[in-house]
Amino acid sequence: MSKLMSPAVLRDLTLRNRTVVAPMCQYSAVDGLANDWHFVHLGRFALGGFGLVIAEATGVVPEGRISYADLGLWKDEQIAPLARIVDFLHAHGAAAGIQLAHAGRKASTPVSWIGPEQLATEQQRAALGYERWQPVAPSAVPHSPTNPDFQMPIELDQAGIRRVVDGFAAAARRADKAGFDTVEIHAAHGYLLNQFLSPLANRRTDAYGGSRENRMRLVLEVTEAVRAVWPASRPLLVRISAVDWHPEGWTIEDSVVLARALKARGVDAVDVSSGGFDGARVAVAADYQVPFARAVREGADIPTMAVGLLGDPARAEAILADGDADFIALARGALDDPNWPLHAQRQLGSKDYGLWPRQARRVAERDRVLGLLPA
């Protein structure tokens, strides 16, 4: 069996393989509630053979959403629609994860495909769950002073910081009730926890700003609060931006230090991405973030997920075999091919169609006739 398709264990959770669907915002919820779109969007990845499917960035408080159309877990009414999705993922062999998030100063932004003409009347706005609010942040500095989609945020005070920590913990409890196998704390891509980490956004002079230790404080407090309420038998993940791609920003050396601190607080794997701040100069190419996953894995002695333009099965296999990462996470690649693990398994030489849903295993007959089976 290939490394990519081999089982993996995190605490008491066994994943059927090392393929992961990374969180992808769908901007399709009303009042934070999952609906049929989310059910089909996420469910198809279980049918496609992925080992772990992670639901999109989910607001832990209403003002923590990137947009008014994001999923949420700030109230109990949001549990049941998510539990329906979890049950389907489990029924078809995939583990279920959810990313808990707070957008900070990047909150309350528009949905790109919904224009003013679709929000012209109160009835239209109500149907879409339209809301607009003033974001919060570590400092009163906007994400981009030239982009009107981003507002001037309010600097969080101590009570606001406590609301964030409590919000993450409460959302984790609801994720447990919904049956999720793992939660991922979102500390990447220029959102709130990443804003506290990065000197590009954090200008504070109190215990949450200044030194790296202080800038890490909120992420670690959130991690401790979530780990305290999340079942000990289930793994906890954190997504980080390994670098800001900015000369004055967060570095890979900072990420290694952070990953060590996260591991000490009960984090089981780090999902290693990068970027998220205005002014970044990102050198994008296939597999461009893999070196970051390796650096964190080696420097902190913790399992990592590689993510970012990873679509070639042979290359994914090599990444795992070479020790660059422990899991391969796809986002846009999964959208392009929801059956990517099934196709990867065949490309890597397997003649076993047991990963396919029973209703779809006649594909093997087609492949045999067309000579697509491995020699």
User: Which member of 27, 191, 288, 353 is catalytic?
Assistant: 191
Location of structure tokens 């999923």? 71
Per the DSSP assignment, residues forming a β-bridge with 72 are: 59
Whether residue 258 contacts residue 228, with contact meaning beta carbons closer than 8 Å, is answered with no
**DSSP letter assigned to residue 72:** B
DSSP annotation string for 298-330: HHHT--EEEESS---HHHHHHHHHTTS-SEEEE
Q: Which two tokens stand for residue 342?
A: 């099934």
The candidate with the shortest Cα–Cα distance to 89, out of 13, 170, 6, is 13
Do strands 95-101 and 136-137 pair parallel, antiparallel, or not at all (unpaired)?
A: unpaired
Is 191 a residue of the active site? yes
From CA 99, how far away is CA 18, in angstroms rounded? 18
From CA 309, how far away is CA 336, in angstroms rounded? 12
> Phi and psi dihedrals of 118, rounded to 5?
-90, 0
Tell me the catalytic residues.
191
